[in-house]
Amino acid sequence: MTAGMSQTRKRRTPLELRGRLLGTVAMAAAWTVGLTAAAPSAFSADVQSKQWYLEAMQAEEMWKVTRGEGITVAVIDTGVNPSTPSLKGQVLKGLDATEADGDEFDDYNGHGTTMAELIAGTGRGEGLKGLAPSAKIIPFRISNTEFQNAHSVNARDSEDAIRAAADSDAQVISMSFGSEFPTSGEREAVQYAQGKGKLFFASVGNNAQGGNREEYPAAYPEVVGVSAADKRGKVGEFSQHGQITDLAAPGLDVPHWCDETFQEYCDGDGTSQATAIASASAALVWSAHPDWTANQVLNVLFDTASRDWEKGTLSKYLGHGLIRPSMNILKGKGTPGAADISPLTKEKTPGSAGSAAPSASASSQPEKSEKADDAAMAGSSTEKNDGSQLGLILGGVAVVLVLGVGGFLFARRRRTA
């Protein structure tokens, strides 16, 4: 993504596609948005057993160092139900930007609640475990296309939610929503959030096989676009790609709430889950380094991402690679770099003064290159000659995948579809 990116393309439609996988690089990381419906799974400990990425990412070991204490994540989504066993005591007061019936605690389809549980769920009641279980959630409810068709809603709910999140106590913003149509108001809200020192993650979308058009807010230069990958570090066929992609996270075979009744979990794939897991990864790193700025946290996530291509060359499928917070938390790897320089735009950011001293060895993050993209598509950088998958346990961290959940991820439309 570049600072001069067009601000005129954007649109939101449901990201609910279950795809197979494109060959890419195998590594440890977190994956993004897009959920697809699948068979329900028992609401039991069996759900937690399906969270394969927790072991792969060395969650238990990281939790001995930090569980995300002191970090709050703004979840801009369909609302968050604070009464599920896994979220009791985890959800703070937020905002309903839709201005429709209900409030931010009324999740109209279960998607936002899933994202919150993947980030900060305690696992109580045999629910989903979050990667940052001591972090807190602030919900900001916005509308998807179906909700818009059924209710009279605030046409500016997305930008209003982003601005409210920027003004909140949250350090991280997680938005598993997308649209093909950018607006000046939303772009300004994103820039406002950057100026307030927030670290903003958004899903790249699940429509790679249906046009692969850039999704916003992920395509804004100031936002970290997240794609979804599987246990082997391969990106799902549904996961959108291009310069919009900055990181990959687990997004396949990740459980989610089936619907707004919160009676059972379903299996699915999507960039939504990947975005939530990437946001939780940032929460863990920031909790371990509370004096860092958003720029420094992100620079370390880029620096420690798993990849088997030359550093400084970006993949349009995995961006900087698979997210690996354990490389920093458990091994002290990663260069934070300058407190006030964005790893995304390479420009100075307002409101980002931090106590950590700028580093002259900050890693450079050049434009994405087709060199890594071609290898990822062919899968030639994914496997060794002996057939073993690279990065499955790269630096002691196993790879994560992307999930999809039916009706969970939405690329939100404006008034017209």
**Domain CATH code at residue 209:** 3.40.50.200
The residue that leads in pLDDT, 403 or 179, is 179
User: What would the mean pLDDT of 22-35 be, rounded to a whole number?
Assistant: 33
Residue 415 lies in a domain: no
Q: Is the pLDDT of residue 393 over 90?
A: no
Q: What is the pLDDT of residue 289?
A: 98
Domain tally, the chain: 1
Q: List phi, psi (to 5°) of 250.
A: -60, 130
Q: Which amino acid is it at 239? A: S
What is the C-alpha separation between 41 and 253, in angstroms, rounded?
Answer: 12
The residue that leads in pLDDT, 415 or 5, is 5
Q: Which amino acid is it at 29? A: A
User: What would the mean pLDDT of 181-205 be, rounded to a whole number?
Assistant: 97
Q: Is the pLDDT of residue 414 over 80?
A: no
Q: Is the pLDDT of residue 383 over 70?
A: no
Q: Is the pLDDT of residue 192 over 80?
A: yes
Q: What is the pLDDT of residue 311?
A: 79
Q: Cβ(121)–Cβ(87) under 8 Å?
A: yes
Structure confidence at residue 312 as a pLDDT band (50, 70, 90)? confident
Q: Is the pLDDT of residue 346 over 50?
A: yes
Quickly list DSSP for 327-396.
HHHTT-------TTB-TTT-SB-TT---SSPP-TTPPP-----HHHHHHHHHTTTTB-TTSPBTTTEETT
Q: Which amino acid is it at 312? A: G
User: What would the mean pLDDT of 224-249 be, rounded to a whole number?
Assistant: 96
Residues recorded for the chain: 417
Residue 305 lies in a domain: yes
Average the pLDDT over each of 24-28, 133-137, 341-345, 349-353 and give the range with the smallest value.
24-28
Q: What is the pLDDT of residue 309?
A: 87
Q: What is the pLDDT of residue 55?
A: 97
Average the pLDDT over each of 131-140, 166-175, 388-397 and give the range with the smallest value.
388-397
Look up tokens 């670290």; give the residue. Answer: 199
Enter the tokens of residue 371.
């060199």
Q: Is the pLDDT of residue 56 over 50?
A: yes
Mean pLDDT of all residues belonging to the chain: 80
Average the pLDDT over each of 83-97, 145-159, 398-412 and give the range with the smallest value.
398-412
Q: What is the pLDDT of residue 45?
A: 52
- Catalytic amino acids? 77, 111, 272
What percent of the chain is modeled with pLDDT above 70?
Answer: 73
User: What would the mean pLDDT of 326-343 be, rounded to a whole number?
Assistant: 97
Residue 131 lies in a domain: yes
CB-hemisphere CA count at 13 Å for 269? Answer: 21
State the residue range of the domain holding 396. Answer: 10-410
Preceding amide of 217 cis, omega within 30: yes
The residue that leads in pLDDT, 404 or 137, is 137
What percent of the chain is modeled with pLDDT above 90?
Answer: 71
Residue 4 lies in a domain: no
Residue 41 lies in a domain: yes
Average the pLDDT over each of 238-247, 270-279, 354-363 and give the range with the smallest value.
354-363
Residue 28 lies in a domain: yes
Q: Is the pLDDT of residue 206 over 90?
A: yes
Q: Is the pLDDT of residue 135 over 60?
A: yes
Angle at 113 between CA 110 and CA 119, to 5 degrees: 145
User: What would the mean pLDDT of 43-51 be, rounded to a whole number?
Assistant: 79
Q: What is the pLDDT of residue 342?
A: 97
What is the C-alpha separation between 279 and 277, in angstroms, rounded?
Answer: 5
Q: What is the pLDDT of residue 186?
A: 98
Average the pLDDT over each of 193-202, 310-319, 362-371 and give the range with the smallest value.
362-371
Q: What is the pLDDT of residue 352?
A: 59
Q: What is the pLDDT of residue 399?
A: 32
Residue 338 lies in a domain: yes
Residue 417 lies in a domain: no
Look up tokens 């001591």; give the residue. Answer: 134
The residue that leads in pLDDT, 324 or 37, is 324
User: What would the mean pLDDT of 101-112 be, rounded to a whole number?
Assistant: 97
Q: What is the pLDDT of residue 376?
A: 36
Q: Is the pLDDT of residue 335 over 80?
A: yes
CB atoms within 10 A of CB 330: 18
Query: CA nearest 365: which of 212, 226, 243, 207?
Result: 243
Q: Cβ(340)–Cβ(352) under 8 Å?
A: yes
